[in-house]
Amino acid sequence: MRARVFVTLKPSVFDPQGTTVAEALHTLGFDAVKDVRQGKYFELDIDATTVEAARRLAAEAADKLLANPVIESYRIEVGTDVKETVR
């Protein structure tokens, strides 16, 4: 089972890297990009039989290690046939 964990800084936390990326985009002419928030992305290959079990395990991993609850929050997607757009 594949779980994807997206970790981002909480909205109340200033993101110096995201701000720098936004400024670089503005320099390149991407004026329509109003703000950038940078985060982390994890793919977990989990030995689990149900989506619920995989999600529970991924959430536990995120709580314990992948995210720091003081500054970050996370979102999890779980599935066997997650369709991807890759380029």
Partner 1 sequence: MKFAIVVFPGSNCDHDAYHAAKHVLGQDAEFIWHKDTSLQGADAVVLPGGFAHGDYLRTGAIARFSPVMQEVTKFAAAGGPVLGICNGFQILLEAGLLPGAMLRNRSVKFQCEHVIVKVEQTDTPFSLACDRGQRLRIPIAHGEGNYYAEPEVVERLESHRQVVFRYVDTNGAPTPEANPNGSVNNIAGLCNEGRNVVGLMPHPERACELSLGSADGLVMFESVVQSVAQGTVATVR
> Which residues bind to partner 1, rule: CB under 8 A?
9, 12-17, 20, 65-66, 68, 70-71
Q: Which tokens is 67 given?
A: 């995210």
Closer to partner 1 by Cβ: residue 10 or 75:
10
Residue number with CB closer to partner 1 (36 or 53): 36
Rounded to whole angstroms, how far apart are CA atoms 67 and 13? 14
> Nearest approach, Cβ of 68 to partner 1 (angstroms)?
5
C-alpha distances in angstroms, 65 versus 34, 46, 59? 31, 16, 10
Q: How far is the CB of 19 from partner 1 (least distance, A)?
A: 8
